[in-house]
Amino acid sequence: MLELSDITLRLRADDRTLTEGFSFTLSRGDRAVLIGEEGNGKSTLLRYIVDPGSVEAYCECSGRVSASGPVGYLPQSMPDALRELTAAEYFGSAAYYDHLGVLGELGIDTDFLSSDRKLGTLSGGEKVRAQLARMLMDDPDVLLLDEPTNDLDIPTLEWLERFLNTARQPVLFISHDETLIENTANVIIHIEQLLHKRETKITVTRAPYREYLRRRGRLFEHQNQVAFKQRADYDRQMQRWRQIHDRVEHEQQTISRGDPHGGRLLKKKMRSVQATGRRLERAAEDFTDFAHQEEAILTRFDEDIRLPAGKSVLDFSLGRLAVGDRELARNIRLSVTGGEPVGIIGPTGAGKSTLLELLWEELRARRDITAAWMPQDYARALPFDKTPIGFLTRSGSREESVLIHNRLASMRFTFEEMNGPIAALSGGQRAKLLFLDMVLRRADVLLLDEPTRNFSPLSAPVVREALRAFGGAIISVSHDRKYLAEVCTAVYELTPEGLVKR
């Protein structure tokens, strides 16, 4: 069991509250998912639960965390200190023979556990699987997982779903994979930043994700209906009240001085009318508010970006795909035409990101198209020491400056986030920044490596919709099952024998 009591987290940089007085108990059988828009503090809350001291440098913190036993924690990215360790050093003397089933499900060979291979040389998915395996060997009583689906291939994602659904430990996790959330979570913890991030709201619902969305939709609809009816009734009552008030006021002004009794009656009547007006105004103070919800916003690509369907965007062939001396695939052929969204899948470590980077090198210098690249490691495309404003600025004109500020504000960047270092942004905010750069550059060919991996489950549908409506060509690597089904019209699997259409 894990108990959180009165947790308050406030960012020092902009005095923004992430959680305020949040209490929650994670019990046996709970598979609780933390959801919310990018930059709302989900990972900060998880880090605070694991080690309050780890966030004190940038957060004011208060509250109490208590756990009944050891806590297993999978961070969003592998710490730098672990990257230099060999597998033998990392796994040490762990009793792996007690966990052969887990190792088999994760596809980890026992020879790897005693190898000299450094963890930093593993692919993204291999890093996740190695950390999961090591964590489970310590037999924790509670599991905290920050984006465990990052870089996992589809078979491993399906294994993770089975693992979460059968785990004996209660689990609190963050994920952007809607399919995994739909198939596993039975508790939804929704962190929202409302009113331009001036107000925080946390909703806990013990229900599956789809049911949560249905309840949320019905609640908002009912609340708005009540709020609208109260105000409509108030307007009608006030209109009637003004008519009575104006008539009595007119009668007071026109009554003859020779009728003192009538004047006294009108004064009494006016006092009654004014009392009714004050009563109506006091009642209005208790009206139900219209529902506030944090909307997922992504700047869309311009509708006039179109590539002719017959235009050859890519005609690529490669005899051998390798990393160092290790051959990954051979005889690769890929042809893409205008307006075609292509998805590439394959097991972890198959070389998908390596292939996508080769395609980027092939397309980046072309003059008849404008290509843009979103790598899996954002540091390869974003200057982390620059500000978002500085990164997006090209001409330095006033018109450009106003446009950039407006676009960033529309995607819920605060003034401090616009003018602070990109390194301080969340993964989702960095992804938004890359998308906005593509939009401003009017890119018509997009090379995207896991484009939805850092977007919340509420943002991801908006991302898919924007890419589905995109008139250019898309070549993407993804393990997001909804993205592949809704956006990509052609899906290829990278195998040792090349690309195979699925």
3-state secondary structure 157-198: HHHHHHHHHHCCCCEEEECCCHHHHHHHCCEEEEEEEECCCC
Average pLDDT over residues 59-78: 89
Q: Output the six-digit token pair for 99.
A: 């966990």
**Over the stretch 417-454, which tens digit does the pLDDT of each residue have?**
899 999 988 888 899 999 999 999 999 999 999 998 88
Cβ contacts of residue 108 below 8 Å, gap of 6+? 129, 130, 133
What pLDDT is recorded for position 354?
92
Contact 43, 19 (CB under 8 A): no
User: Comparing 145 with 194, which gets the higher pLDDT?
Assistant: 145
**Over the stretch 16-35, which tens digit does the pLDDT of each residue have?**
889 999 999 999 999 999 99
Pick the CATH number of 2-212 from 3.30.300.30, 3.10.110.10, 3.90.25.10, 3.40.50.300: 3.40.50.300
> Is 60 exceeded by the pLDDT of residue 292?
no
What pLDDT is recorded for position 302?
87
Least confident of 43-57, 128-142, 286-300: 286-300
User: Comparing 439 with 125, which gets the higher pLDDT?
Assistant: 439
What pLDDT is recorded for position 493?
95
Q: Output the six-digit token pair for 458.
A: 């509420």
Closest alpha carbon to 491 in 343, 352, 348, 350:
343
Least confident of 55-59, 212-216, 392-396: 212-216
Least confident of 78-87, 102-111, 188-197: 188-197
Average pLDDT over residues 53-64: 90
- Measure the CA–CA gap between 137 and 408, rounded to whole angstroms: 44
Q: pTM of the prediction? A: 0.71
User: Comparing 254 with 88, which gets the higher pLDDT?
Assistant: 88
- Measure the CA–CA gap between 231 and 223, rounded to whole angstroms: 12
**pLDDT band, residue 486 (cuts 50/70/90):** very high
**pLDDT band, residue 244 (cuts 50/70/90):** confident
> Is 70 exceeded by the pLDDT of residue 291?
no
CATH fold for the domain made of 312-501: Rossmann fold (3.40.50)
Contact 197, 16 (CB under 8 A): yes
Contact 186, 210 (CB under 8 A): no
> Is 80 exceeded by the pLDDT of residue 470?
yes
What φ, ψ does residue 320 adopt, rounded to 5°? -150, 125
> Is 60 exceeded by the pLDDT of residue 141?
yes
The pLDDT mean for the chain works out to 87
Q: Output the six-digit token pair for 366.
A: 């072309």
Q: Is 226 left (phi over 0), alpha (psi -120 to 50) or beta?
A: alpha
- Measure the CA–CA gap between 197 and 418, rounded to whole angstroms: 14
Percent with pLDDT over 70 in the chain: 94
- Measure the CA–CA gap between 159 and 282, rounded to whole angstroms: 58
Percent with pLDDT over 90 in the chain: 42
**pLDDT band, residue 38 (cuts 50/70/90):** confident
Q: Terminus-to-terminus CA distance in the chain, angstroms?
A: 44
**Over the stretch 365-410, which tens digit does the pLDDT of each residue have?**
899 999 999 998 898 999 999 999 999 999 889 889 998 998 888 8
Average pLDDT over residues 298-327: 88
> Is 80 exceeded by the pLDDT of residue 243?
yes
Size of the chain in residues? 502
- Measure the CA–CA gap between 412 and 410, rounded to whole angstroms: 5
Average pLDDT over residues 34-48: 88
Q: Which residues of 452-471 are buried (b: 16+ CB within 10 A; e: fewer)?
A: bbbbbbbbbbbbbebbeebe
What pLDDT is recorded for position 89?
92
